[in-house]
Structure 1
Amino acid sequence: MISLPILTALYALYTTVCAVNPVNVTGQDFYDTVTGDRFMLLGVDYQPGGQAGYKPQQGEDALSQGDVCLRDAAVMQRLGVNTIRVYNVDPTLNHDDCASVFNAAGIYMVLDVNSPLGGESINRADPSSSYNSGYLNRVFGVIENFKNYPNTLAFFSANEVMNDIPTAADNPPYIRAVQRDMKNYIAKQGSRAIPVGYSAADVREILEDTWNYMQCSISNDTDNASRSDFFGLNSYSWCGGDATFESSGYNDIVAMFGSTTIPIFFSEYGCNKVMPRVFDEVAALYGPQMTSLSGGLIYEYSQEEADYGLVQINSNGSVSLLTDYDNLQMQYNRLNITLIEAANTTAANLDPPECSAGLISNSGMSKSFDLPAVPDGVQQMINNGISNPTQGRIVDVSNLTPSQEVYGTNGAPVQGLQVNRVPDDQSNTPSGATPSTSGSGAPAQPSKTGAAVVGARAEAAVGFVGLLGFVLSLL
């Protein structure tokens, strides 16, 4: 006879083992390492409170409060998100609850390793002074903190360090040096490869040169680890419902990156010059004209001073969905997920170009590929690991119903909102849920273009119910 404690343990095991599959890079695409399916980012930038929400002195960052993450994971899962980008995290904090609830929701995380505080990023005005062992100890701490979560998709080595021609003169070798050190640390101290890349500003004078600089191959085996695994672009060129593929310059972006040897995606997008946003660019980004790119991340989840929010986080912890949320959800529900997950037939499958001064056209940008030497003491960290790291792990998330209220755009509470556990081998996809004005959190029956994984979830649920029935028959 199986006792009740054993039955409880079986259920606890079920609630913890379900996980998304790790993702890696092959050529110019992301791929699920288990199924081999192509992965495209259908994502949102997530930093509640903005930079002010990063409070290491108070033990708080965007992924430190499990109940907040549960609320936001439920809201984003309903929206159809499969990836979040988090800009500022404290490597000494425990992020297990948040990482685990996003994992249960089928949502991956892309983490920036830097922060706005002094000594926690490369100083674009004086990169040599900031590239040191103390800074890299923090970077490696972020890697240690998140390397064991299966839904850690990737790390950003830096964000918009080169934001004009003058800052492109000295910074590129330092960014590649940071990537070299990160990738060598992951290779030595991680259990799997985790992609590392750069998030670039859409500064057209240096954009193509920056991409070429980051994707090219250095003949020196030691420094070739510095090559970006992917390239993110912060682009706000599609503005309003009158914009088109051509007027926004999306056609130029596709042409520019046509020969890429690494994945390209929008690490930020969603112009707010016309409000409310209608997000017509979503159909283009995930349509047949842009299958060479790997999707993107909408800026941003919560309403901050810059006025880009999909939701308003209220002072009592409740959330009010904004019109932008409804408009984005309608765009997501129209997507052809079969096309999104299909193999990239436009992939060039080219070898990366050899790094040389001839790749760089702007006279103001660095043409040197002689990278800074590894700072004193850093190679020992790479070989042996940093001291006393905080290492995360997936934990039980049996409670999947947020305690906070979430209100639709009509002011009515969204009913039945919870995280629906995604079974193994699945990430989240648009559910076909009706807009928030309905006041209902229950997803509608998905269409083929709504591509929900309801069938897979049902199959997993039936399987577990069958297991429970078998176990109960033995009690």
Structure 2
Amino acid sequence: MWVFLVFAGAPFLVGLFPVTAAIPTISAIHSKFFDSNGNQFFIKGVIYQPGGSASLTDPLINTAQCALDAALMSDLGVNTISVYYAGSGDDHTGCMSAFEDAGIYVMVGLASPLTGINRTSPAWTTSQLSSFSAVMDNFASFDNTLGFFVGNEVVNDMTVSDVAPYVKAAALDLKSYRDSKGYRQIPVGYSGAAYRKWIYIIPRSNTIPLYFEAIIDTKKFF
């Protein structure tokens, strides 16, 4: 972006210098995303997690690597990355800035392989809430933080549907924590699995999404 100054109605070039405009923030209204300019936002994203969902590698601490990857992703039209794990005690400023400069938003997983909700032995504890909250604290100030996940495909088939109330409780608690800290309305949600057998049990239904949809306020992100 270049700045031109105008005096007395006539354009007068006093200097050319780059200006970095803040990236619009994103909010969720029901099942849709909108930016702070009022435009609907459509995700064109990739998973950005070396080692996959079970990895304890934080991909947002190597600024040089992030800058390289952000430039390549931008060339491909990517506007969002999803990160399964990020350390609450690490400095993510460099990587978040690199992705912001490339016009790329970040979905941040609040859980780790060590703190996530266990589908076979579900629980939602104050220790987990503290861990999830610390990650939120780390990323809440970045304008290109698109949203937070409290879980990723935890309910992945009908045999573990009993874990759903724990995931829902986590989302409710993290929304409450976000509001208590005065953070902007960053979407908080859950990354669900597309389990095809549900379609055959109740045709054309979305039973799990409908269950998660009842999350207190009108902003729902799943």
| One-letter amino acid of the structure 1 residue matched with residue 94 of structure 2 | D
Q: Is the 8 A contact 1:65 1:98 kept in 2?
A: yes
State the secondary structure of the residue aligned to 1:178: helix
Greater shift in the superposed pair: 87-96 or 202-211: 202-211
CA change 1:22–1:43 in 2 (3 A) is same
Matching of residue 211 in structure 1 with residue 203 in structure 2? no
Q: What TM-score, normalized to structure 2?
A: 0.84
Structure with bigger RCO (C-alpha 8 Å, 6+ apart): 1
How many angstroms apart in 2 are the aligned matches of 1:53 and 1:204? Answer: 27
For 1:339-358, what aligned pairs fall within 5 Å after superposition? none
How many angstroms apart in 1 are the aligned matches of 2:51 and 2:154? Answer: 22
Match of 1:27 among 30, 48, 51: 30
Alignment gaps of 5+ in structure 2: 1-16, 200-205
For 1:446-457, what aligned pairs fall within 5 Å after superposition? none
Q: Is the 8 A contact 2:171 2:188 kept in 1?
A: yes
Q: Is the 8 A contact 1:161 1:200 kept in 2?
A: yes
Could you tell me how far 1:157 is from its partner in structure 2? 1.2
How many angstroms apart in 1 are the aligned matches of 2:182 and 2:196? Answer: 36
How many angstroms apart in 1 are the aligned matches of 2:159 and 2:66? Answer: 39
Could you tell me how far 1:228 is from its partner in structure 2? 7.2
Give the equivalent residue in structure 2 for 1:122. 117
Match of 2:171 among 179, 185, 199: 179
Aligned-CA RMSD value: 2.0
What is the CA deviation profile of residues 241-300 of structure 1, one whole-angstrom value per residue up to 9, with x for unaligned ones?
A: xxxxxxxxxxxxxxxxxxxxxxxxxxxxxxxxxxxxxxxxxxxxxxxxxxxxxxxxxxxx
Give the equivalent residue in structure 1 for 2:125. 132
Q: Is the 8 A contact 1:179 1:228 kept in 2?
A: no
Give the equivalent residue in structure 2 for 1:80. 77
How many angstroms apart in 2 are the aligned matches of 1:80 and 1:44? Answer: 11
State the secondary structure of the residue aligned to 1:176: helix
Q: Is the 8 A contact 1:157 1:179 kept in 2?
A: yes
CA change 1:90–1:165 in 2 (3 A) is same
Match of 2:101 among 92, 100, 104: 104
Could you tell me how far 1:54 is from its partner in structure 2? 2.4
State the secondary structure of the residue aligned to 1:111: strand
Give the equivalent residue in structure 1 for 2:151. 158
State the secondary structure of the residue aligned to 2:169: helix
For 1:309-328, what aligned pairs fall within 5 Å after superposition? none
CA change 1:162–1:28 in 2 (3 A) is closer
| One-letter amino acid of the structure 2 residue matched with residue 63 of structure 1 | L
Could you tell me how far 1:93 is from its partner in structure 2? 0.5
Q: Is the 8 A contact 2:55 2:113 kept in 1?
A: no
How many angstroms apart in 1 are the aligned matches of 2:99 and 2:145? Answer: 10
Could you tell me how far 1:197 is from its partner in structure 2? 1.3
Give the equivalent residue in structure 2 for 1:39. 41
State the secondary structure of the residue aligned to 2:87: coil
State the secondary structure of the residue aligned to 1:158: strand
How many angstroms apart in 2 are the aligned matches of 1:112 and 1:228? Answer: 19
Which structure's residues are more often strand, by fraction? 2
Give the equivalent residue in structure 2 for 1:190. 182
How many angstroms apart in 2 are the aligned matches of 1:147 and 1:85? Answer: 15
Q: How many residues align?
A: 200
Could you tell me how far 1:204 is from its partner in structure 2? 2.5
How many angstroms apart in 2 are the aligned matches of 1:147 and 1:87? Answer: 16
Q: Is the 8 A contact 2:28 2:219 kept in 1?
A: no
Could you tell me how far 1:205 is from its partner in structure 2? 3.2
State the secondary structure of the residue aligned to 2:59: coil
Alignment gaps of 5+ in structure 1: 1-10, 56-60, 218-223, 232-475
How many angstroms apart in 1 are the aligned matches of 2:38 and 2:100? Answer: 19
| One-letter amino acid of the structure 2 residue matched with residue 123 of structure 1 | N
Could you tell me how far 1:51 is from its partner in structure 2? 4.9
Could you tell me how far 1:191 is from its partner in structure 2? 2.9
CA change 1:228–1:132 in 2 (3 A) is farther
Q: What TM-score, normalized to structure 1?
A: 0.40
Could you tell me how far 1:166 is from its partner in structure 2? 1.5
